[in-house]
Amino acid sequence: MDQPPLNPLVVLGATGSIGRQTLDVARSLGIEVAALAARRGSDELLALAKEFSGATVGMTAPTESERATFTNLFGSRVRFGPELLPELAATSGATVLNGVVGAAGLEASVAALEAGNRLALANKESLVAGGPVVEKARVRGGGELIPVDSEHSALLQCLAGEEAGAVRRLILTASGGPFRGSTADELAAVTIEQALDHPTWSMGPRITIDSATLMNKAFEVIETHFLFGVDFDQIEVVIHPQSIVHSAVEFVDGSIKAQLGEPDMRLPIQFALTYPARQPSSLTPFSLAGSSLTFEEPDWESFPLLGLGYEAGRRGGSGPAVLNAADEIAVQAFLDGRIGFAVIAKVVADTLEKVSFRDLDSVADVKAVDAEARAVASQLVAPS
């Protein structure tokens, strides 16, 4: 079947888990790559710059020697500095895949939407930390916000053709991570290696730890609120260890629609690039026959970050931004071996208590809250 050509692609976070899989999709669908960006000038970025020879290549924090290597090899195709993320995101007529990790992705999301581009959003921190600001940018610039996360992609697919008034609940599934069924005491003894060993998804380190604490699911609840304009009371989380049902929607007549597939991010990434059309892919479809799918309630007590996420989301304004910044600091401290696994939740809860609440109107407001929360959380993880 003939499809209209897809927009040229700007891939932010090209060397990460999402970025790599996006480039796989671009290769398989023959999508033009207009720009690639990462933090460092790694060997991987170098190889990509050679492969995608028409693309602008950006690095936000290269070393001096990386700068020299890239400049010598690629001359004016190369750009450096943190401001290049929003600049590349504003490329006219592009689809911007934001696969940067952390709050650094917010300005790029805002710039893409203000330029009227399609934003294929993986960087969940954009919506978690800056939901109200991203929403304003979307309205102002007329850009299109398409989620890449498998859960939100599933919701988008289930909601297609349905009226807002027909929706009763959005049901987010969660694998439960490697520590599903563990008690609070068992969680206190978890090692970095155990936490990084996700049972069903292969992802970058921060999101893997966030999946193990269920912080990631709390972020997704907040994202769902902003993406689909629903109240927190209408968003439910259910544990589904097989990660086959990516999420579901319950309608007012009691009918439930779910989206199923093997856990492979290339599927939601491709859908975000081809939406609303579908294009063939070589991914293995899920086989229903012989499969057993199970669902259970989350353990709110052993995984307190899930409840804290709802609380911060309902509070609105700066609450989710504080949650995100505190979690980023706490997860890094855990990965560095400075705090235990169970302390991550305590650092986030204490930071939420200590940083005063305010409304968020601009990227500058988000940055100010983010910086304050990071400072508070950094003190909390510092050795006394």
Q: Which residues bind ligand NAP (CB under 6 A)?
A: 13-19, 37-40, 42, 60, 85, 99-102, 104, 122-125, 149, 201, 203-204, 207, 265
Is the Cβ of residue 176 or residue 250 nearer to ligand NAP in the bound state?
A: 176
Is the Cβ of residue 167 or residue 329 nearer to ligand NAP in the bound state?
A: 329
Is the Cβ of residue 167 or residue 225 nearer to ligand NAP in the bound state?
A: 225
Q: Yes or no: say if 249 and 182 are a contact pair by the CB < 8 Å rule.
A: no
Q: Which residue is nearest to ligand NAP (CB)?
A: 16
**Rounded CA separation 320/239 (Å):** 22
Is the Cβ of residue 102 or residue 250 nearer to ligand NAP in the bound state?
A: 102
- For residue 320, the minimal CB distance to ligand NAP (Å) is 14
- For residue 319, the minimal CB distance to ligand NAP (Å) is 19
Is the Cβ of residue 249 or residue 331 nearer to ligand NAP in the bound state?
A: 331
- For residue 272, the minimal CB distance to ligand NAP (Å) is 11
- For residue 15, the minimal CB distance to ligand NAP (Å) is 4
**174 phi, psi to nearest 5 deg:** -135, 135
- For residue 200, the minimal CB distance to ligand NAP (Å) is 11
Per-residue HEC secondary structure of the chain comes to CCCCCCCCEEEECCCCHHHHHHHHHHHHHCCCEEEEEECCCCHHHHHHHHHCCCCEEEECCCCHHHHHHHHHHHHHHEEECCCHHHHHHCCCCCEEEECCCCHHHHHHHHHHHHCCCEEEECCHHHHHHHHHHHHHHHHHHCCEEEECCHHHHHHHHHHCCCCHHHEEEEEEEECCCCCCCCCHHHHHCCCHHHHHCCCCCCCCHHHHHHHHHCHHHHHHHHHHHHHHCCCHHHEEEEECCCCCEEEEEEECCCCEEEEECCCCCHHHHHHHHHCCCCCCCCCCCCCCCCCCCCCECCCCCCCHHHHHHHHHHHHCCCHHHHHHHHHHHHHHHHHCCCCCCCHHHHHHHHHHHHCCCCCCCCHHHHHHHHHHHHHHHHHHHCCC
- For residue 18, the minimal CB distance to ligand NAP (Å) is 4
- For residue 11, the minimal CB distance to ligand NAP (Å) is 9
Is the Cβ of residue 99 or residue 132 nearer to ligand NAP in the bound state?
A: 99
**Rounded CA separation 207/210 (Å):** 5
Is the Cβ of residue 35 or residue 171 nearer to ligand NAP in the bound state?
A: 35
- For residue 188, the minimal CB distance to ligand NAP (Å) is 25
Is the Cβ of residue 40 or residue 314 nearer to ligand NAP in the bound state?
A: 40
Which residue has tokens 């696969």?
A: 99
Is the Cβ of residue 151 or residue 365 nearer to ligand NAP in the bound state?
A: 151
- For residue 318, the minimal CB distance to ligand NAP (Å) is 19
Q: Is the torsion defined by CA of 345, 348, 354, 359 positive or negative?
A: negative
